[in-house]
Structure 1
Amino acid sequence: MTQLNITLEQRLDRLESTEAIRQLAGKYALSLDMRDLDAHVGLFAEDIRVGRNKVGRAHLKAWVDQTLRDQFTGTSHHIGQHIIEFIDEDHAIGVVYSKNEHETGPEWVTMQMLYWDDYERVNGEWFFRRRLPCYWYASDLNRPPIGNMKMRWPGREPYNGTFHDLFPTWESFWRTRPQDGELPQVATPAPVDQFLLTMRRDTPAPKIRVR
């Protein structure tokens, strides 16, 4: 269903759905930072998959609880741009930028990342079906993350994040360079409702390393 071939009722439903999905991202940040884990896991589908073999909000709550207690005294998640595309009336995908601060032991770690999201409407309500966190950097406030291995948590060896791995254009941009004086080719613009899918170009999801 394209945006040019839908009824007024469908347009209104899409607007309401877009706002409901945007609210999910804001509620995610607030509930996480305020440690209301019941509110937090309630943003995910009831049968959310946790790891390889666990299903359900109770397992998600246990995982989030342990992660927060083991690693962070306090956190603050600042939501940036949010792009949403609908697969059908009850399924959508999205990209959300997030700039985060973490009090973790003796260091104040700042982070830049994005989430690749899958959303699903169940019984009239939108939920997260999956959140794929892709990190660019995490480093102490007083140590800019210049160079490679930008994920620098205290007490751990640095490692690379996956911020650019969803989109093949990052590597191709650096691998190729137009000749001097040569105008580059310009691709046909992506369909208005397939911008994210066009950028992905069927790139598989990266394997995310746990913090």
Structure 2
Amino acid sequence: MSDDSLLRRLDRLESLDEIRQLAAKYSLSLDMRDLDAHVNLFAADIRVSREKVGRSHLKRWLDDTLRLQFTGTSHHIGNHIIEFDDPDHAHGVVYSKNEHETGDQWVIMQMLYWDNYERIDGRWYFRRRLPCYWYATDLNSPPIGEHKMRWPEREAYDGAFHDLWPSWADFWANPPTADEPEVAAPAPLEEFLASMRRGAPEPRIRVR
């Protein structure tokens, strides 16, 4: 193995660890309401809306949202898949199980984030986070049936937990036959998520 190859592999391992730390730091800083620590996990020119860009606008949006809706939160991250587009750009999927104190209700949530990461001046940052929800409901009310996103004083609606993945609809639309099922070839390296998405472009999800 050449020295250059070894250095590239070490760089990839260090990048993987730093990106995983980003997700963990996101949860802790959000739950402890350290908004400066939180927004500094994002690129300095992070887009907050069509009109606003930058960490200060992200901090204001977070402050307004958290102060208005939640007394307390706890975000528990799980499965994390990271794939690299090039040495300084990557994308990934992170599972998150969350709890929220909101008014007199305790809302639990299951979701995943679709992330884009970028290394800028030697450090990794979030370039974008898209939340994809499966359910949100009061602890004492299981989210059975449709419209699993159930917040106090809001109409229930559907999240996008399954919408990113064509396999979900394919599975239910195609029950097995008597024949042995066909098995697709394994996904190429760094293309597991693209293969699961059937080659669809980067997702765009309207966040409520």
TM-score above 0.5: yes
Name the aligned partner's letter for residue 74 of structure 2.
S
CA distance in structure 1 between the aligned counterparts of 2:5 and 2:111, rounded to whole angstroms: 36
Residue number in structure 2 paired with 1:125: 123
CA distance in structure 2 between the aligned counterparts of 1:97 and 1:9, rounded to whole angstroms: 30
User: How many pairs were matched up?
Assistant: 204
Residue number in structure 1 paired with 2:90: 92
Residue number in structure 2 paired with 1:3: none
Q: 1:184 aligns with which of 168, 181, 185?
A: 181
Q: 1:111 aligns with which of 85, 109, 112?
A: 109
Residue number in structure 1 paired with 2:35: 37
**What is the CA distance between 1:185 and its match in structure 2?**
0.9
CA contact (8 A) 1:116 1:132 kept: yes
Pairwise mapping of residues 1-211 of structure 1 onto structure 2 (< 5 A)?
7-179=5-177, 181-204=178-201, 205-210=203-208
Q: Structure 1, unaligned stretches of length 5 or more? A: 1-5
CA distance in structure 1 between the aligned counterparts of 2:161 and 2:181, rounded to whole angstroms: 26
Runs of 4+ off more than 3 Å: none
C-alpha offsets along residues 133-181 of structure 1, whole Å, 9 cap, x if unaligned? 00000000000000000000000000000001111111111111121x2
Name the aligned partner's letter for residue 164 of structure 1.
H
CA contact (8 A) 2:46 2:53 kept: yes
**What is the CA distance between 1:182 and its match in structure 2?**
1.1
CA contact (8 A) 2:131 2:207 kept: no
What's the secondary structure of 2:45's corresponding residue?
coil
CA distance in structure 2 between the aligned counterparts of 1:97 and 1:14, rounded to whole angstroms: 22
CA distance in structure 2 between the aligned counterparts of 1:209 and 1:13, rounded to whole angstroms: 34
CA contact (8 A) 1:135 1:162 kept: yes
CA distance in structure 1 between the aligned counterparts of 2:120 and 2:6, rounded to whole angstroms: 22
CA distance in structure 1 between the aligned counterparts of 2:120 and 2:207, rounded to whole angstroms: 30
CA distance in structure 2 between the aligned counterparts of 1:128 and 1:209, rounded to whole angstroms: 17
Q: Structure 2, unaligned stretches of length 5 or more? A: none
CA distance in structure 1 between the aligned counterparts of 2:52 and 2:59, rounded to whole angstroms: 12
CA distance in structure 1 between the aligned counterparts of 2:40 and 2:107, rounded to whole angstroms: 27
Name the aligned partner's letter for residue 198 of structure 1.
S
CA contact (8 A) 1:48 1:129 kept: yes
What's the secondary structure of 1:52's corresponding residue?
coil
CA distance in structure 1 between the aligned counterparts of 2:28 and 2:146, rounded to whole angstroms: 31
**What is the CA distance between 1:100 and its match in structure 2?**
0.1
TM-score, structure 1 normalization = 0.94
* Paired-residue identity, %: 69
CA distance in structure 2 between the aligned counterparts of 1:165 and 1:206, rounded to whole angstroms: 11
What's the secondary structure of 2:153's corresponding residue?
coil
**What is the CA distance between 1:202 and its match in structure 2?**
3.1
